[in-house]
Amino acid sequence: MSIKQMISAKPLQFTESVIREMTRQALLHNAVNLSQGFPDFPAPPEIKAAAIRAIEADVNQYSITWGSKNLRNAIATRLKTLTGMEFDPEAEITVCCGSTEGMIASLLATINPGDEIVIFEPFYENYNPDAIISGATRRYVRLHPPNWSFDSRELETAFNSHTKAIIINTPNNPTGKVFRRDELEQIAALCQKWNCLAITDEIYDHILYDGAEHVRMLALDGMHDRTITINSLSKTFSVTGWRVGYVVASPELSNAVRKVHDFLTVGAAHPLQEAGAFALQLEPDYYRVLRAKYTERRDMLLAILTDAGFRCHKPMGAYYIMTDIHDFGFASDMAFAEHLVKNIGVAAVPGSSFYRESKDGNQQIRFCFCKRDETLQAAGDRLRRLRKK
Ligand code: GLN
Task: Break the chain into its structural domains and give their ranges.
Answer: 4-43+285-388, 61-279
Strand partners, 71: none
DSSP H/E element including 317: none
Pocket of ligand 1 (CB under 6 A): 19-20, 36-37, 100, 173
pLDDT digit string, tens, across residues 304-355: 999 999 999 999 999 999 999 999 999 999 999 999 999 999 999 999 999 9
Shortest-distance Cα residue to atom 4 of ligand 1? 37
Q: Which atom of ligand 1 is nearest to the CA of 35?
A: 10
Pick from 16, 17, 19 the residue to mutate for probing ligand 1's pocket: most ligand atoms within 8 Å of its CB: 19
Answer for the pair 126, 354: CB distance below 8 angstroms, yes or no. no
pLDDT digit string, tens, across residues 79-121: 999 999 999 999 999 999 999 999 999 999 999 999 999 999 9
Give the Cα separation of 192 and 237 in Å (integer): 34
Answer for the pair 53, 259: CB distance below 8 angstroms, yes or no. no
What percentage of the chain has pLDDT greater than the value 90? Answer: 98
**61-279: CATH topology:** Aspartate Aminotransferase; domain 2 (3.40.640)
The dotted CATH code for 4-43+285-388 is 3.90.1150.10
Q: Which atom of ligand 1 is nearest to the CA of 17?
A: 8
Secondary structure of residue 295 in the 3-state scheme: helix
Task: Kindly tell me if the per-residue pLDDT of 294 is higher than 80.
Answer: yes
Give the Cα separation of 121 and 2 in Å (integer): 37
Shortest-distance Cα residue to atom 9 of ligand 1? 100
DSSP H/E element including 106: helix 98-110
Q: Which atom of ligand 1 is nearest to the CA of 125?
A: 4
Q: What average pLDDT is seen over the chain?
A: 97
Give the Cα separation of 189 and 182 in Å (integer): 10
CA angle 371-376-377, nearest 5°? 145
Quick one: which of 229, 276, 254, 277 has its CA closest to 65?
254
Mean pLDDT, residues 198-206 taken together: 98
Quick one: which of 138, 212, 132 has its CA closest to 172?
212
- pTM comes to 0.96
DSSP H stretches of helix in 135-219? 152-158, 181-193
Where would I find the beta strands (DSSP E) of the chain?
32-33, 93-96, 116-121, 137-142, 163-169, 197-201, 227-232, 245-248, 311-313, 320-324, 346-347, 349-350, 364-368
Shortest-distance Cα residue to atom 3 of ligand 1? 37
Task: Kindly tell me if the per-residue pLDDT of 246 is higher than 80.
Answer: yes
Q: What is the pLDDT of residue 24?
A: 95
Q: What is each CA distance from 265 to 147, 258, 276, in whole angstroms?
A: 38, 10, 18
